Amino acid sequence: MCDVCSLPEVPSLVEVPCLSAQLDDTFLAIARGHISKHGEVASRPPVQIELLMERPGGILVRWCKVDEDFVAQDYRLQYRKTSSGHFEDAYVGSESEFIVLHIDPNVDYQFRVCTRGDGRQEWSPWSVPQLGHTSLLPHEWSPGLDCYSLSSRRNIALRNDSPQHSVLYSKAATYYLGQTLTFRVETTGVPDRRDSIGVCVGKDDGLDSLQRDQAVCISSNGVVYVNGKEMTNQLPPIAPGSTITFDMKLVSLAANNEGSHQRRRVTIGSANREVVFDWLLEQPCDSLYFGCSFFHQGWKVVVF
């Protein structure tokens, strides 16, 4: 008898999508007969989560098929806090990724996904649950302006009928390099050439549009402004349901006798079209504010 014995390392659930065992043929026949009366046995779930990426106030979940022979028609994504025993539906549809919003920062959540296909109504077995969290604060509009009404989570802004004109800024500078900032325009009002949706360095409460220095934005007519100057390239006019995205990456960071500057590569997308340009900032900054301004009522914007 040995004094010291060792066992193989126990793998994590992610590394073991299925279990196998060698059983007597007689037992297998009996078990197969009983199981077939109530359902079927799958060697592994046909879909698995492959990516969890933190987003401001949310988590991007991406999944893929493991069983290539399975014809998927719909997917179902669920999540829960690790401290809760109840999973909630987050998404049902044909896409293979989804951003789950309203996630509390620095709290662990479990995610799982299943699928159905081949004309069936029942769902497949669930994937192995994956653990994810976000450390990024959610994007929120700043309260206090009479001309905008905000949702309870402050991620939705509605331009009301107040005669006041002012830029509605974010509560904090929560947009960082490498992230995608998304605005979805739910409803529109009468367009005005001074309308704007975009990002900026700092807040200037004395202006009524983001068409100014140290800001990049798009107007409701699709015109793009960089530091207050109109660009030649334009995007389609904003319509109900339009989604506008801002992406930025650092191109260069330089310093001279007059100070330092930062050059960013900016991509603004709308209606399957993009405008790409370099934006020179006189002073480097780690994060930006976002904002919007509309001169007529009826505009409703969601940020995430």
In a domain, residue 112? The reply is yes
Q: How far apart are CA 138 and CA 140, in angstroms?
A: 6
Q: Could you tell me the two tokens for 248?
A: 């930025």
Per-residue pLDDT, averaged over 67-81, amounts to: 88
pLDDT over 70, % of the chain: 87
The residues, any chain, with a CB within 8 Å of residue 258's CB and separated by 6 or more, are none
In a domain, residue 194? The reply is yes
In a domain, residue 29? The reply is no
- At residue 89, the pLDDT reads 96
Within this chain, do residues 176 and 127 fall inside the same structural domain, yes or no? no
Q: How far apart are CA 274 and CA 267, in angstroms?
A: 7
- At residue 248, the pLDDT reads 94
> Does the pLDDT at position 195 exceed 90?
yes
> Does the pLDDT at position 134 exceed 70?
yes
Given pLDDT bands bounded at 50, 70 and 90, which one contains residue 10?
low
The residues, any chain, with a CB within 8 Å of residue 143's CB and separated by 6 or more, are 150, 154, 171
Within this chain, do residues 176 and 297 fall inside the same structural domain, yes or no? yes
Among 37-46, 133-142, 188-197, the least confident range: 37-46
Higher pLDDT among residues 22 and 122, named by residue: 122
Given pLDDT bands bounded at 50, 70 and 90, which one contains residue 115?
very high
- At residue 215, the pLDDT reads 95
The residues, any chain, with a CB within 8 Å of residue 3's CB and separated by 6 or more, are none
pLDDT over 90, % of the chain: 58
Average pLDDT, the chain: 87
Within this chain, do residues 152 and 186 fall inside the same structural domain, yes or no? yes
- Give the CATH number for residue 200: 2.60.120.920
- At residue 46, the pLDDT reads 85
**DSSP H helical ranges for the chain:** 25-36
- At residue 259, the pLDDT reads 60
Within this chain, do residues 211 and 298 fall inside the same structural domain, yes or no? yes
> Does the pLDDT at position 3 exceed 60?
no
- At residue 185, the pLDDT reads 96
In a domain, residue 22? The reply is no
In a domain, residue 33? The reply is no
Query: pTM of this prediction?
Result: 0.70
> Domain of 177?
148-303
Per-residue pLDDT, averaged over 195-214, amounts to: 91
